[in-house]
Chains A and B, each alone.
Chain A
Amino acid sequence: NAGVMQNPRHLVRRRGQEARLRCSPMKGHSHVYWYRQLPEEGLKFMVYLQKENIIDESGMPKERFSAEFPKEGPSILRIQQVVRGDSAAYFCASSITGGNTEAFFGQGTRLTVV
């Protein structure tokens, strides 16, 4: 049973380009969460999705960022017109339910904007 798979592991983008980060949850998990880890700031919640629905996107910047979790395929975190401040590690986690249960994390995508 594969764990949470994120790809790519490392992504380099020039300012103004788009970044697409993918997350395949563990088999049987329908709840996906995205977090961002900035140096010196720790992990910050971004968005919580359940299949085809955004449950809570209160941690996601309102502009340039979007997330989806389609019926088929991985969850996608999309960052348009990237800026240097978007450079960070982006982690995805999944769980079976949305309650206080164990969430499994992927290895993260390290985005560098040059």
Chain B
Amino acid sequence: SQELEQSPQSLIVQEGKNLTINCTSSKTLYGLYWYKQKYGEGLIFLMMLQKGGEEKSHEKITAKLDEKKQQSSLHITASQPSHAGIYLCGAGLPNAGNNRKLIWGLGTSLAVNP
């Protein structure tokens, strides 16, 4: 089973609508990263969360990490076609040996209809 579960697997929204993507683990996470990937391209860093209860925003995207550091959500306000892509969450586990031995969700594919 996947160590990081992302939901939903895919999402189609109308331009202007809000949406939320979730990333959940049964283990306490050590550093939670959100990236966006477009097909055939690399990953674009969005945000990193470390502390329980932390929340960060950039433009119309807000990411939160719960107090237990086991769940994160990514919220997009007033979605635009430019938000379309695959959103990936990655996280470190305590005792992983190194901070970059991240585990990853399978991604959420977002389409925004104009």
Listed in ascending order, the chain A residues whose CB lies under 8 Å from chain B are 4, 6, 31, 33, 40-45, 48, 55-56, 58-59, 91, 93, 95, 98-108, 110
Contact = CB atoms under 8 A, between A and B. Distances in A.
B28 to A, nearest CB: 14
B114 interface: no
A58 B99 contact: no
A110 B39 CA distance: 12
Interface string B41-58: 111110010100000000
Contact of A48 (B41, B42, B98, B105): B98
A40 B31 CA distance: 24
Chain A CB within 10 A, most for which of B41, B42, B50: B42
B42 A4 contact: yes
Given A58-B97, A103-B33, A107-B40, 12 more contacts: A43-B104, A45-B100, A45-B103, A48-B101, A56-B98, A59-B101, A91-B42, A95-B100, A98-B98, A100-B30, A100-B92, A104-B45
A43 B90 contact: yes
A94 to B, nearest CB: 10
Interface in B3-20: none
Contacts of B40: 107, 110
A105 B100 contact: no
B100 A31 contact: yes
B112 interface: no
Interface in B72-107: 88, 90, 92, 97-107
